[in-house]
Amino acid sequence: MKLLLGKKQGMTNLFTEEGRFVPVTIIKSGANYITAIKNTEKDGYSALQIGFGENKKTKKPQAGQFKKAKTPDLKHMREVRVDAEQIESHKEGEQFNVSIFTEGEKIKVTGTSKGKGYQGVIKRHGFRRGPMGHGSDHHREPGSIGSAYPQHVMKGTKLPGQTGRTTVSTKNLKIAGVDEENQILYIKGAVPGPNKSLIMLIGQGGFESKVIEIKKETPKKEVKSEEKKEKSTKKVVEAENKTAKTIKKDEPAQVEKVDKEVENA
């Protein structure tokens, strides 16, 4: 099973080799890492946990997990259940990108649909509105939601409520193009979710990945603090040198004053 995380950038159009005008969705991805491997012996199920995107503020539990897996601090993480046979060919810390997919391949795309807020039954469920005239007072209401006896509403009754912002999966979407240089995938058709939302791509078959050792550099804040210390020490040394020079200049004048006082005495 092929797995990849990316972000939706919007839609555009491409021309195929046959000259057809095809609408496509742009998915911007990058380096993905395997952050954890779950097995049936230890966890009770087999799954792969992957991460994507740099994170500036990482909590301590996640930082410990990334350190153990030898990966950078990642912002987005997703877990997908796979067969035990597929887990054996992978290790924690492996890196992969859009190169695991090929043009023309069919994949499943999972994302979070656009949130519409609290909506009525007409927009949420597609109900018809009531009559607008002739003394009607139920223009956009749902109508009857239960019987007089027993006095309760059945489970699953279509009522107003939160619309959208749910996990939606679309199957058999075709990859129209792969740009390995810019880490971009072009997927034919629409993909669930707004722009800049996280998208998970799932394909059939295995994929090759590489284990890369990541050397964490010193944070910029520490470097700045060291530079400030050096500047402060330089200022102190310069001030001491100035005071020493002024003292040397004033010494002969003080000696002349003392000699004059002795002569007058």
> Using an 8 Å Cβ cutoff, are 158 and 125 in contact?
yes
Tens place of pLDDT for every residue, the chain, 265 residues?
A: 899 999 999 999 999 888 899 999 999 999 999 999 999 989 999 999 999 999 888 899 889 989 999 999 999 999 999 888 888 888 899 999 999 999 999 999 999 999 999 999 999 999 999 999 999 999 999 999 999 998 999 999 999 999 999 999 999 999 999 999 999 999 999 999 999 999 999 998 766 555 444 444 444 554 455 666 666 676 666 766 766 655 555 555 554 554 555 556 5
Structural domain of 238: 220-265
DSSP per residue, 160-196 = SEEES--EEEEEEEEEEEEETTTTEEEEES--SS-TT
User: Do 84 and 201 have their domain in common?
Assistant: yes
Between the alpha carbon of residue 1 and those of residues 89, 130, 133, 174, the distances in Å are 11, 50, 58, 16
Q: Nearest CA to 116 among 15, 29, 203, 194?
A: 194
Please provide the DSSP assignment of 52-114 as one string: EEE-SS--HHHHHHHHHHT---EEEEEEEE--HHHHTT--TTEEE-GGGS-TT-EEEEEEEPP
The per-residue pLDDT for 17 is: 85
pLDDT for position 204:
82
CA atoms within 13 A on the CB side of 1: 21
Residue 151 shares a structural domain with residue 243: no
Strand 117-119 with 161-163, pairing: antiparallel
Does this model's pTM top 0.75? My answer is: no
Assess whether 147 and 196 both reside in one domain. no
Q: Is there a single domain that holds both residue 126 and residue 203?
A: no
What are residue 260's phi and psi, to 5 degrees?
A: -65, -40
Could you tell me how many residues make up the chain?
Answer: 265
27 and 158 co-located in one domain:
no
Same domain for 173 and 81, yes or no, is yes
Give the burial class of 168: count Cβ atoms within 10 A of its Cβ; 0-12 exposed, 13-18 middle, 19 or more buried: middle
User: CB within 8 A of 62, min separation 6: which ones?
Assistant: 73
* Omega cis (within 30) before 150: yes
Say whether both 105 and 126 belong to one domain. no
> Can you give the CATH number for the domain in which 91 is found?
2.40.30.10
Question: Residue 252 phi/psi, 5° resolution?
Answer: -60, -35
Same-domain pairing of 143 and 83: no
- pLDDT score, position 88: 83
In this predicted structure, what is the pLDDT of residue 178? 94
175 and 133, same domain (yes or no): no
pLDDT for 226 equals 60
Q: Are 177 and 244 members of one domain?
A: no
DSSP symbol at 231: H
**Look-up: residue for tokens 């129209």?**
176
Count other Cβ atoms within 10 Å, centred on residue 31.
16
- Residue 84: the pLDDT is 85
Does one domain contain both 137 and 229? Answer: no
- Contact (Cβ atoms closer than 8 angstroms) between residue 23 and residue 13: yes
Q: Are residues 104 and 54 in the same domain?
A: yes
What total number of domains does the chain contain? 3
